[in-house]
Structure 1
Amino acid sequence: MLGLLLLLQVLVSCLRLGYSEVVPSFKTSCTKFFYEKTPPSDSLRPTNAARICQVYDNKYRFATLYDRNRRIPVYSAYKYQPGKGSRYDRWFVEPQLINQNYRRYMDTEDSIIDTYGITSADIGKSQAIDQDYVDAQGLDRGHLCPSGHQTGDDNKTATFTLTNIVPQYSTLNQGAWKEYEDITMAQKTQGCDTTYVITGAVPGNTDISNGRVNVPSHIWSAACCVKCNKPLRAWGAIAENERSKNKVKVLELLDLENRLAGLYGGKGVTLFKNACARNKAHILDGEASDDFSTCQRITGY
């Protein structure tokens, strides 16, 4: 009886933990975080990529394309839904990046080590670990899917996985990029029913932790605003991730895609299917109306 009770306790604990699925394609899994269920073009995909459906408490929270070699995410895709909730104070890693047969839920290093009898070095072969960031001078653990863009304890907690983190200079992370996340996004999403966001990092030429974790050269973000199931507007933002730089450039989606094409070696970049609202951008900007009449103008009904 005691053994059965202990087993039940473990099962309940597992259900409460987040878990992440490393999947073969975003086109069939956790598609709801991409506009029209379509991920960005493959031009962003690195050689040794992993697609992660980030789940917490049995619910999909966001999606991440992860670079195993550089040990940083390429991008995280999510829905913008800021609200109240508590920040998490520990960091998760991804068991299925270590071994596809390991459990699906994101977990702490200590728990994985105890469960599978492996070491932090074993975990670190496929991803960043906590130690990688301990001595990173002047660098923060920069969220691609930020906790501030989520609502509720569970949604916020799910963002605290190192598969969603890049080394971001503190001057930028706590300065202009924070202003973009907290203020600009709130302003530009006014009137949107749903805003799809893809935030990414361009690989740089420097590393931390003895070459283990890449420091991105740029941080970028793109947003697609949907109203009444129709694209309303889209925009982008990009910033150089340098110690002496603290500036975010807000620009049109097409301009961001063109800049990224250059940064990713000249390959064409498409972030949203049909470019979201490229041809409809700012149609309703500045128009004051209630939701019903706005939907009438967009849909024709």
Structure 2
Amino acid sequence: MLGLLLLLQVLASCLWLGHSEVVNNFINPCVQFFYAQTPPGGGIRPVNAARICQVYQNQYRFVTLYDRTNRIPVYSAYIYQPGPGNRYNSWFVEPQLINQKYRKDMDEEIAIIQQYKINSTVIAQSQAIDKDYSGAPGLDRGHLCPSGHQTGIDKTATFTLTNIVPQYMGLNQGAWHDYEEITMRDKTRGCDTTYVITGAVPGNRSISNGRVNIPSHIWSAACCLNRRKPIKAWAAIAENQIERNHVRNLDLGELENRLATLYGRGGITLFRNSCTGKEASHP
């Protein structure tokens, strides 16, 4: 009987971990979105960070490291799987950034306000809200995990403000859009699975009276597998400036070195062993 009780306690503990969205680490619930089940390491994590396993309709869709201070994501990590589906016409926020005891699924502000009897001011204390992006001329809501890189209902899940940064319209609809839609399509030929990490470097400007940071750079890196073996990696970076509309293609190592300089917190590793054949035994 004692052994059965202990087993039930262990199972209950595992179930609780599986139902956590804002988590202490990515290892337990949503590590499947990282190549070799290894999140980025080194100086990429800010002091006031939150790890989010992005949940929509009770399923994990991708993951985000969120900067609570700047109210933008540091990065979103996902598996590239473009396909049919519709864009969502509204925006979600993250309940468990407000209160760890709230439910795990992303939802619209009004639904959270009605369920928990709070107001937008309470939500805004922990994250960006829809109002922050109004009245920001020349800036789009730039996805880090793009809806165009997902299929079906996974597209809807990308419309959460914890996956969004203020991105200048010319870049978001110009060279960066071309990278997302054309370069990624071309480079992923021959890939059975492609792991992607897309991030933003905080800048020195903001919107909404200083609440939401405008990134100085947008970057992305990809690790391509064929028959579960890594065969190549690539990367890109762009200055997020009103007068700039250019994406620079880089090697993975070049991007990591560039980010180490930009973040200024030491070396950065985006993919374990640089997405090389040494990791062939990992899924």
TM-score, with structure 1 as normaliser: 0.85
Tell me the alpha carbon deviations over residues 179-207 of structure 1, each in whole angstroms, 9 at most, x when there is no partner. 00000000000000000000000000001
Tell me the alpha carbon deviations over residues 212-257 of structure 1, each in whole angstroms, 9 at most, x when there is no partner. 0000000000000011111100010000000000000011000000
Work out whether residues 233 and 278 of structure 1, in 8 Å CA contact, stay in contact via their aligned partners in 2.
no
> Would you say 1:31 and 2:22 are equivalent positions?
no
Tell me the alpha carbon deviations over residues 39-90 of structure 1, each in whole angstroms, 9 at most, x when there is no partner. 0014111111110101222221100000111100000000000010011001
**Aligned length in residues:** 263
Work out whether residues 141 and 164 of structure 2, in 8 Å CA contact, stay in contact via their aligned partners in 1.
yes
How many angstroms apart in 2 are the aligned matches of 1:96 and 1:42?
26
How many angstroms apart in 1 are the aligned matches of 2:60 and 2:92?
16
How many angstroms apart in 1 are the aligned matches of 2:196 and 2:177?
16
How far residue 279 of structure 1 moved from its aligned partner, in angstroms, is 8.7
Work out whether residues 236 and 256 of structure 1, in 8 Å CA contact, stay in contact via their aligned partners in 2.
yes
1:149-168 equivalence runs, <5 A? 149-152=149-152, 154-168=153-167
How many angstroms apart in 2 are the aligned matches of 1:58 and 1:88?
18
Q: CA RMSD in A?
A: 1.7
How far residue 277 of structure 1 moved from its aligned partner, in angstroms, is 2.8
Unaligned segments of structure 1, at least 5 residues? 1-18, 281-297
Bigger Cα Rg: 1
Work out whether residues 22 and 53 of structure 2, in 8 Å CA contact, stay in contact via their aligned partners in 1.
yes
> Would you say 1:175 and 2:162 are equivalent positions?
no
Three-state SS of the structure 2 residue aligned to 1:132 is helix
Structure 1 residue aligned with 2:66: 66
1:210-249 equivalence runs, <5 A? 210-249=209-248
Work out whether residues 201 and 263 of structure 2, in 8 Å CA contact, stay in contact via their aligned partners in 1.
yes
Work out whether residues 42 and 267 of structure 2, in 8 Å CA contact, stay in contact via their aligned partners in 1.
no
1:123-272 equivalence runs, <5 A? 123-152=123-152, 154-265=153-264, 267-272=266-271
Tell me the alpha carbon deviations over residues 240-298 of structure 1, each in whole angstroms, 9 at most, x when there is no partner. 00000000001100000010010011510100011103999xxxxxxxxxxxxxxxxx9
How many angstroms apart in 2 are the aligned matches of 1:72 and 1:203?
8
How many angstroms apart in 2 are the aligned matches of 1:48 and 1:251?
29
How many angstroms apart in 2 are the aligned matches of 1:167 and 1:143?
9
Deviates more, 1:208-217 or 1:40-49: 40-49
How far residue 116 of structure 1 moved from its aligned partner, in angstroms, is 1.4
TM-score, with structure 2 as normaliser: 0.90
- Percent of aligned pairs with the same amino acid: 68
Paired amino acid for 1:38: T
Paired amino acid for 1:96: Q
How many angstroms apart in 2 are the aligned matches of 1:136 and 1:105?
28
How many angstroms apart in 2 are the aligned matches of 1:222 and 1:159?
18
Work out whether residues 20 and 54 of structure 1, in 8 Å CA contact, stay in contact via their aligned partners in 2.
no
Work out whether residues 44 and 265 of structure 2, in 8 Å CA contact, stay in contact via their aligned partners in 1.
no
Structure 2 residue aligned with 1:273: 272
Work out whether residues 254 and 278 of structure 1, in 8 Å CA contact, stay in contact via their aligned partners in 2.
no
How many angstroms apart in 1 are the aligned matches of 2:36 and 2:60?
17
Paired amino acid for 1:192: C
How many angstroms apart in 2 are the aligned matches of 1:69 and 1:205?
13
Structure-2 change in CA distance of 1:57 and 1:20 (3 Å): farther
Paired amino acid for 2:183: T
Work out whether residues 20 and 55 of structure 1, in 8 Å CA contact, stay in contact via their aligned partners in 2.
no
How far residue 29 of structure 1 moved from its aligned partner, in angstroms, is 2.3
Structure 1 residue aligned with 2:79: 79
Paired amino acid for 2:21: E
1:83-98 equivalence runs, <5 A? 83-98=83-98
Structure 1 residue aligned with 2:14: none
Deviates more, 1:174-183 or 1:98-107: 98-107
How many angstroms apart in 2 are the aligned matches of 1:246 and 1:20?
39
